[in-house]
A and B are shown apart, each in its own frame.
Chain A
């Protein structure tokens, strides 16, 4: 019964996410003014919400990891893993959209000048190693705790890496020119609608995958009982 309730939650959130994203992109494309006459800037409404959602997913995964170490309750292991899985998917999307943005703004597919993009590359490497760790350790409470500790390291690594990337710019490129476009209130409203849509979408995907993985685990338990 609890499973069907969760699936309803995922279905409701999917509909909400679809509505919010359609509304957000409609606002972003037809209502918000163009920034500095640059149509490519509109990818901002996709790239930044995706990136922030990835951070939220990593943070959520870290929080669940902390809960696991705290309470030793095994269910947090799956929740932390699924959240980080979502984070990696959104992180990869942020890398791709960032790369496209760089292509249309600076004419190159990759630039080391864009801090957020470099940070996502580092995080992508880090969390790919998280999956390697998980898949090469036998399942059990020790794997759950080891993964949780690594997930917590990830949460600490995000600000430390951000600082490191800023510091690295000072000796790699001594002069950094940042050009912040003027943000108008219409743009801000459109942005927040897009962000809310993306967060709800991630929540829906999280609940759906969690329900699937739980059903999987339940099925495996039943099979073992029958065997």
Chain B
């Protein structure tokens, strides 16, 4: 168990270090999410309602997450890192867990900018929204990392990943928008937690099958 955890820590550290040195993904996500919020202002009529702006924020967050997911297996594929990782004497699910944790970290960084920007441009940020975003991050990262590994083997991988991910993201959008707007946010937060649990277990258990040749 401790060996498993130290593998996960080492692998997460590897992903964060790669990002820290190359700065490929997070700056792009920050620009994209702020740019998205600005574009939405011009796409909607004056005095945009609270309801519309919340939905819009969730769409911006989802698309920003796609950027992180599309980039998440680039080094593994282009620099053949994945071959080294598969040869390493560690459980394959540790690779998934580490990748998921680093994607959660990138998403949290993007949201540290996106949520204040949303508060500045549109509506104040509530605790329910923050809780919803935190829970949705886990689901997005867990499912997205697995789908990213699947798409890495395909031809048009950057094109394929959003197609694979979109239908699976619909429940996350429902939970997120519900937590932001509904009168009983606890129900929606519970739903998000349920989604995280189901799909994290599924992804954790099935990662090995999609990366090995």
Contact = CB atoms under 8 A, between A and B. Distances in A.
B191 A150 contact: no
Interface in B118-169: 143, 146, 150-151, 153-156, 160, 163-164, 166-168
Contacts of B151: 133
A7 interface: no
A136 B156 contact: yes
B210 A167 contact: no
Contacts of B153: 137-138, 142-143, 146
A138 B168 CA distance: 24
A141 interface: yes
Contacts of A142: 153, 210, 212-213
Interface residues of B, number: 35
A170 B143 CA distance: 26
Contacts of B168: 126, 153, 157
Interface string A158-184: 001101110110110000000000000
Interface string B159-189: 0100110111011001101100110000110
Contacts of B187: 167
B108 interface: no
B178 A171 contact: yes
Majority secondary structure, B binding face? helix
Interface stretch (B42-50, B79-87, B99-107, B198-206): B198-206
B191 A156 contact: no
Most A CB contacts (10 A, CB to CB) among B154, B160, B178, B195 go to B154
Of B174, B187, B198, B199, which is in contact with the most chain A CB atoms at under 10 Å from its CB?
A: B174
Nearest to B172: A164
B146 to A, nearest CB: 7
A152 interface: yes
Contact of B209 (A145, A156, A157, A165): A145
Contacts of B188: 167
Contact of A167 (B154, B178, B198): B178
Interface in A65-82: 69
A132 interface: yes
A208 B61 CA distance: 45
Contacts of A164: 170-171, 174-175, 191
A122 B167 contact: yes
A163 B167 contact: no
A215 interface: no
A136 to B, nearest CB: 4
A19 B143 CA distance: 45
A56 interface: no
A167 B175 contact: yes
A161 B170 contact: yes
Nearest to A159: B198
